[in-house]
Structure 1
Amino acid sequence: MFEGEVLMATRFWQCCPRQSVFRLLSFIACIAMLSLWSVGQVMAGSPSTETENVEPGEETPHLSHDRHLHRYGVPHETIQPSEQRFFTTRSSEIVLPLPSEEDAFTFAVFGDRTGGQPEGVDVLADAVRDVNLIEPDLVMTVGDLVNGYNRTAEWLIQMREFKSIMNRLLCPWFPVAGNHDVYWRPLNDPEMPKFQHQDHYEMHFGPLWYSFQHKQCAFTVIYSDEGDEETGEKSFSKPRLQKISDEQLAFLRQALARGKDCNHQFIFLHHPRWIGGNYGDDWKKRVHPLLVEAGNVTAVFAGHIHHMRSDPNDGIEYIALATVGGGQKGVVPEAGYLHQYHLVTVRKEQVAMAAFPVGQAMDVREITSSLQEETIQLARLPVTFKGGIQVSAAMREKPSTSQFSVSFSNPTSRPVEYTVSLESVDNRWQFAPDHTHGVLNAGASCKADFSAVYQAKQFERLSEMVQVTLSQDYLAPATRYSIPEVKKNVPLLFSDEASSQGTVNRALALDGSGDCVSLESIKVPLPQGPFTVECWFKAREFADRVGLLAKTEQSEYGIFASRGQLDASVFLGGAYKNIRPDLKLKVGQWYHVAMVYEGDSLALYVDGKPQGRLPTKPLMKRKANWLPFIVGADPDVRGRPNSFFNGEIDEIRISKGARYNQPFEPKRRLTSDENTVIFLDCDRTVGPFLIDRSPQGHSFRLTGDAHLTDVKESVKQE
């Protein structure tokens, strides 16, 4: 402190009465304590008091968006933890702020139930189910509760159905009258009352306008279909009929006055009159000014337009809801064209609002381990076929019909709703039927019969086959659980001539740029233990990385020919066991290559001559994977082919057991036996398929421009 300031302070202390000085010091101390308390409040807003200098974005290096920064309210008030409210037996410098104990509550708002099919009550019931899981204090509606536009008898049936569903709510609910609730049809009906269904509405639902209070908030319902007081005419397309009556306007003034001391006032009606158009300007001129003048009207809710919409004005939230069963086009569901309800959380100083799609609330108590196990069973459900698609290489005079059946069962303890459908991207297929559906009771089985006709004389390279899709919903007591679709290709039944060896020796021609043949893992059931992988090949060129026959991805086995050097590998005991001979391959020359795993060693043969042998520990297990076995490329981690081979490949064979254990003379055309897992002789295709001549008799689709070409070289065959 400077010398002059010290002198002034000393004179002040000497001149002032001691009592005044003590009062002043006490006041300054209180101010200081309040300042420190405020700082504590700010610090309590975060569980960390660290003051590291961190640049924006450095704290969230993996975050790719800033949507979480968009919010409407202010952070909630918190207080420092006290011994009464906070307990731990651990020590930490981190202060965990506690929420204040101010009153807050939640209410739900339902949109239009009607203006669509009568079955829309299913959606309404799902909304009731959702909200009962949440348990708000109350549920408000915005009108169009029944389909209406009818006579008394039909109206009463719809009214009872709506109330029966809504009365299953755990909380009270409050109706609002919409045009569907009060409009009578036909208009020339001599029995039509002057004000149509108004009397019925008030007799069974309640007054057309009313107000109530709950937890320092006022809820006011008004009626937007009064129409012409003299003639009883009603319409929402004529501005003169969309005016609030003097009687109802007087009620609204009184209701707003009754709620003047509330924290918030909420208004509910059916027609969103504030949007103008055919609603005219009555709301803008006579109603909106009243709401603004009240000073505490927070939000106005309406429906009718069947999509969500927000139109804030003069500090008042004007909110239109979509539907809970009403007619819904679903143009852009995520932009508010959907079945939904609002949840509104009310605090003294602010209100939060969010919309939730109907049926999306998850029942925490219902999701037990047994339910999860059963739904997983359905997701992995085996689908079996009897018969299949008849495939022939011959030309046909007229389209042939294939008959087959699809069978599956329900292994769970609950009913399952299912749909079995046939589809193909090839529009030349015709199915009868194209789908079937039903409900399968617990433990029951189903067999669906189909026929398929291919409207072409023969299968060709661009032909696409048929796929069966099984869609299932697991019907739990309170929820429908959609199961991921099960998709299966309908089996192909090749004629004898398609499955026999061709008289002309051909090979698979690949261009090194997307051409290959991919064999699904399930169709290459190679057991653990000794095995042999072999083929004939002739390269046009060798790239830096070339997959010849591969199923590798930190697992399984493969033969590579990168830069003209062979590399045979098997993943055993947590690592690849490799053989890389010094042999430099030549382009334009046929080679036979065989990789043989004998159980205690790995060997590689080229043209029957040993090129290396690597001892391994006996009976080491090969690490398996789900990836395809690819001819002419290597699969990546997602099973997609890469590292393509440019040249010709022939006589691809995978066998159980070690076929070779000493030098041999390779046969130019191989054969199949009981140990053959896969055998592609590449002599014949049927349409887009390469035929497997192993006992399994599979077929595999050619990818890219892969095709068969005659083997021109004369190679001695034994």
Structure 2
Amino acid sequence: MKHPFLVSLLLLACSISVNAQAVEDDALLLPDRVRSNPDKFTFAILGDRTGSDRQSWHIFDRSVEEINLSRPDFVIMVGDMIDGHDYPEEVAAQWEEFQSHVDRLEAPFMFLPGNHDVGTPAGAEYWKKNLGRRYTVFLHRRTLFLLLNTEEIQGEPGNRFGHEQVEFALRALDQHADVRHTFVFMHQPAWALPSFAVEWERIEKALGDRPYTVFCGHLHSLSVEERNGHRYYSLGPSGARVDNSPFDESAPFHHYTLVTLDAGADGRDSAHVSVRQPGNVWRPAELTGRAAPSVRVAARPGRRPGHPRNQSVVGVSVPNPFGEKLDATVHFSGLLPDGWQLASGDTTRFTVQPGETVDREFRFTRPRDRLLPLPYAVIQREYRGNLLPTVRQVLPLVPDSVFRPVTEWHVAGVFSPDADSATVIALTTGRPLEGSSTASRVDWRTASVADGLLSLDRLFGLRDSSVAYATCAVFSPREHTTLARIRANDRADLFINGARANEQPFRLTSGDSDYALVPLRAGWNLLVVRVGNLTGRWTLSMQVADPEGDLRLAASRPRG
């Protein structure tokens, strides 16, 4: 499709010699150097969308809207469309939510797996049943597009493409050796990871001296490097959390990418790459000049954890700052017959008048022995026929005000993920390391964290495939059960007085925390968190519910 553009008449007058006698009308001719190339085309690339704040969909949605304005031939996403989860119901709900946003794209959409998409058995099974191919190849205007899967074979010491996928890539490159350009896409930067070294060397050798460009995501930060005269791009997020990159030239900000294949100054086809930050391409008409205040989802006071059938009361507040009515829908996903249940049904619709705020209360119950999985509140708002960004938040169990952050830890590291069982038992129970192949003395250090975020990467450096242990002590004047709220990057297990408290590992999700029941004895209790890091940032935060205000938190139990 040809796009309209403006041309300076003064520029044309200087660029073209026109014989007035030979011209039959007033139309000027474009110089040859700006005439349309029939083989020219543009495609867009979306970066990671996972590990973000719960209200970051507006960044992704704005990227989609601006891509639609640019009219690309198609769009490719480099993986991590969803956060991922251990429960199939939650995985399906996350894909459904993603689909509701990406369906707004007007161009054909293609994507490849990221570690969040297929990193759990539930995620891998969903992809297999519903999404089809995990790697593929296609042609467009005599240009080859190779979409690889860096999550095909997962495990220690790292992921691999696998023999079948490598052979597939080599076959595709051999069969299409005379294309104009080759674009290679993957989620993780295989060229920079030791576990892919042998396989990537074969693929890179097959690429040879043909014109090609490589793109990946995963690092949540933009960087560009040159290998063998070709550009390799690590793209940043399109709505995911923003991290610092290990590359010096990193640029951590949200963006999407447009790539145009067209002739360069030398007459040969070149890939022209432009990176765009959402919000800097203006729409023909804005919905309103005022930003919509945030929807609030908060727990109201209710029964304590440990009641035979626990109750949680959740309030949802939806404001309307606009000049006309706003329609809202509150839906709860993830409700189960033997788990969390809602007394009034799972969907409520209402209208909010201009300048008003509507508050709705929802009462939930659950069996005592079934805390997980937690349901999600999904709030959709419509104004003048336009959908505002969807709000999606995990169900808050108790009011934020009753949680106390753990600010003093004892920390030990670094350990291998496959440390021998004697070491693991010793570190999670506080017993001596008798019979362990690890050194009999572990160097514990005290870490104070004023903001509640324990940065293990600052203590031990950026360590891939590593484990550390963080311990704290909680004094309770009586025996009772409370709650812990945990966020871990990348995953964690909680042990309370030597017993594991969580069924599934706690993971970093889109701004939400995981919860665990914490049975406390009267007196001092030892809490140990085993924090695993796959790659990049390595952090832990934990808060303990203290509605009565009578718990004492310390880095360790007092001696004696």
Structure with larger RCO (C-alpha < 8 A, sep 6+): 2
**Looking at CA atoms only, which structure, 1 or 2, has the larger radius of gyration?**
1
